[in-house]
Amino acid sequence: MASNRRALITGASAGIGEAFARELARRGFDVVLTARRTDRLESIAAELRERHAIEAVVAPLDLARADAAEALVAALDAQGLHIDVLVNNAGYGLTGYLDEQPWEAHAAFIQVLMTAPTELAWRLLPGMKARGYGRIINVASLAGHVPGSAGHTLYAASKAYLIKFSQSLALETKGTGVHVTALCPGFTLSEFHDVNGSRPLVSKMPGFMWMDAPTVAREGMDAVEAGKAVYVNGRVNRLIKGLFKLLPDALALKMVERQGGRFRVHGEGVGQPPA
């Protein structure tokens, strides 16, 4: 069990982020929960305090703001709250072809899924190194291991970035007491597909393709503790990753092209980040 250690979880109001908050609290970590839905965060925090006798701090924030990471870390420093575990989980899907959406939507997506996780790691890493202990989990996706698909132009690209970023950071922190893991779940039962409007499509997926968020979070914590730079949740997902790794690029891209339309929302507007 943790002792006087604290975790920061982004996108903690639902889904995998909420599951990480519960898993870390169960393991004895104090938690800082951030997302946009203050009421939801307060409800989760109150439950975790009661159930696990830990400290749970709520820090409502919109990570699409360019100054969000800096403001959050400054606020934590002002309260004397050091962070030992960072879970970069906040994310959402942006549907439609690249030129169908305004640049502002793409810029916000890049800010939330790439810039903010990188900046939070950059700002919190020195303290982790100084204390000789740190854990950084970047919630990527199986999508980062397979070719990108039409209609979700930036999603796979952003997840591939998190995987490569995590691998490099894991090497850079070797021997410092800091572990870094890119966690790569596949289809996970959460609000994600409701937010981007793809629920009716992905519901056609067979049941064995789905995982639940608590399992994803538990495996993620076990993976980072074990020092695994990249971890793919689920045997089916690991099989898919292995298959695409063996296929020639042209054939892999063709397969994604043929199957992508089954689970793509096209021309239905901009997906919004979960509150």
Give the residue numbers marked as catalytic: 155
Helices (H), the chain: 15-26, 38-52, 68-78, 103-110, 116-131, 155-172, 192-195, 199-202, 213-225, 235-246, 249-260
- Residue 75 phi/psi, 5° resolution? -65, -40
* Per-residue CA distances from 153 to 108, 120, 143, 191 (Å): 14, 24, 12, 20
Report residue 255 CA to chain centroid gap: 26
Q: Can you tell me whether residue 196 is helix, strand or coil?
A: coil
Surface-to-core class of residue 66, CB atoms within 10 Å of its CB (0-12 exposed, 13-18 middle, 19+ buried)? middle
For the beta sheet containing 30-34, the strands, ordered from the edge strand earlier in sequence to the opposite edge, are 56-58, 30-34, 6-10, 85-88, 134-139, 178-184, 230-232
Among the listed residues 158, 89, 156, 77, the one whose alpha carbon sits nearest the alpha carbon of residue 123 = 77
Q: How many residues does the chain have?
A: 275
